[in-house]
Amino acid sequence: MHELSVCYGLLSQVERVAREHAATGVTRILLQVGPLSGVEPRLLRRAWPVAAAGSVAASAILEIEAADIRVHCSRCDAESAATANRLLCSACGDYRTRVISGDELILKTLELETARVPRNTDAGQEHRRIHGAL
Amino acid sequence: MCTTCGCGVDTDTVRVDGKLAPVRVDTEAVTVLEGLLADNDAQAARNRAHFDQHDVLAVNLMSSPGAGKTALLEATIQALGDELRIAVIEGDLETENDAARIRRHGVPAIQVTTGNACHLDADMVHEALHRLRLSDVDLLFVENVGNLVCPASFDLGQHRNVTLLSVPEGDDKPAKYPVIFRAADLVLLTKQDLAPVMPEFSGERAADAVRSLASTAPVHGVSVKTGDGLADWCAWLRAEYRAQQVRRRDGSTVRPRVQPDGARLHAAAGGARS
């Protein structure tokens, strides 16, 4: 049940990116979460509104992309599908494999709402007169 | 609001003549491609650098509650206490019980009570480090909260992960909780003294289940009651401590076994962006 902690981590990242882009809101968050990440997408979805309440991302849609588990065998060089508790090479059965997909816990993209300073309006020109060019 | 100085001038809605201008809201898609725990990982990296500066080897112990982490530490202090200066950070939801047990052996122990949190994170370890003189420590154990799920997801800044599985828990635990056993640099099968009364437990099956996770981590049996296997465990710790000293001379560091996967994925994700 550490998904709430993960959500708070996600929120601080989202807030940072939103700040960097001077965003007024976050509309969509796309994550990639693999079965080997130790994080359960269903619980993440449930915990997210608790973490995001009152934040810039409170009304954002949280989308979670699943990732299939795939391994690369260092013995026979084959790439194959695997399951969380059986990460062996399906071609030769060797255990010396490397997970190439399935342990992701990544924030991929954010869709931000940005209120642009209008360039061609009086307000924009006045703002630039006071503060200099943005 | 003005984003330059926060002066309250809303340039989108207010014109110089005081009338409202039409609001223009744009949406912008931003590619981030960062690990979800980037903040925790950054603090963990600072903890690791701190350990390295002080020539400390940090080992994170993970297991279910009651698998014998504290008993293993007590036996380890007795076996290695004269050789290496040991300190322990204890993570539990409540009580100072474990820290008190460790302190009885004359070793500094910092108890972190997590309240309801089911794992330690890098910030909690960082706070505990403020209460510890790292210059007086060679080997720092972090005894994580007893839990076979959550602790695996949080890097604390440790160099090595050790996952314990006690005989009464059953030999199929690595298959049931693959993430935490995959994170192990060493798997210890504890309470071997109970093996004679629990013939349903097979160390071989447990080791096979670990191999099925594509893990090359050694699997050792140990009993703190009889002392069996303690020599192997201490030899592993000595070798890891020596390896840490070599890394310090080279100016390099090491993360637990499972961590490079995450780093590699970030690199791959970064590559995909360009």
ipTM of the complex in this document = 0.75
| B93 close contact with A: CB closer than 8 A | no
Domain A3-67+105-131 grouped into CATH 3.20.10.10: no
The b/e string for B4-40 (b: 16+ C-beta within 10 A; e otherwise) is beeeebbbbebbeeeeebeeeeeeeeeebbbbbbbbb
Nearest CA to CA, how far is B224 from chain A (Å)? Answer: 29
Q: Which chain A residues are closer than 8 Å to B144 by Cβ?
A: none
CB–CB contact A130 B9 (8 Å): yes
pLDDT of residue B198: 97
Query: Span B156-172, mean pLDDT?
Result: 97
Nearest CB among B12, B153, B212 relative to A88 is that of: B212
CB–CB contact B118 A109 (8 Å): no
Q: Which residue ranges make up each domain of chain A?
A: 3-67+105-131, 68-101
- In angstroms, the CA A15 to CA B226 distance is 54
* pLDDT at residue B270 tops 60: no
Q: Find residues 125-164 of chain B whose CB sits inside 8 Å of chain A.
A: 149-150, 152-154
Query: Which residue in the block uniquely carries the two structure tokens 């940090």?
Result: B58
Q: Among A6-20, B4-18, B114-128, B177-191, which stretch is predicted with the lowest mean pLDDT? A: B4-18
Q: Which chain A residues are closer than 8 Å to B38 by Cβ?
A: 9, 13, 107
* C-alpha angle B253-B254-B258 in degrees, rounded to nearest 5: 160
DSSP label at residue B195: G
pLDDT of residue A128: 62
CB–CB contact A95 B3 (8 Å): no
Superfamily of domain B38-260: P-loop containing nucleotide triphosphate hydrolases (3.40.50.300)
CB–CB contact A118 B24 (8 Å): yes
Nearest CB among B25, B37, B178 relative to A9 is that of: B37
pLDDT tier at B188 (50, 70, 90 boundaries)?
very high
User: What phi, psi does B139 have (nearest 5°)?
Assistant: -130, 115
Which residue stretches of chain A have pLDDT < 50?
134
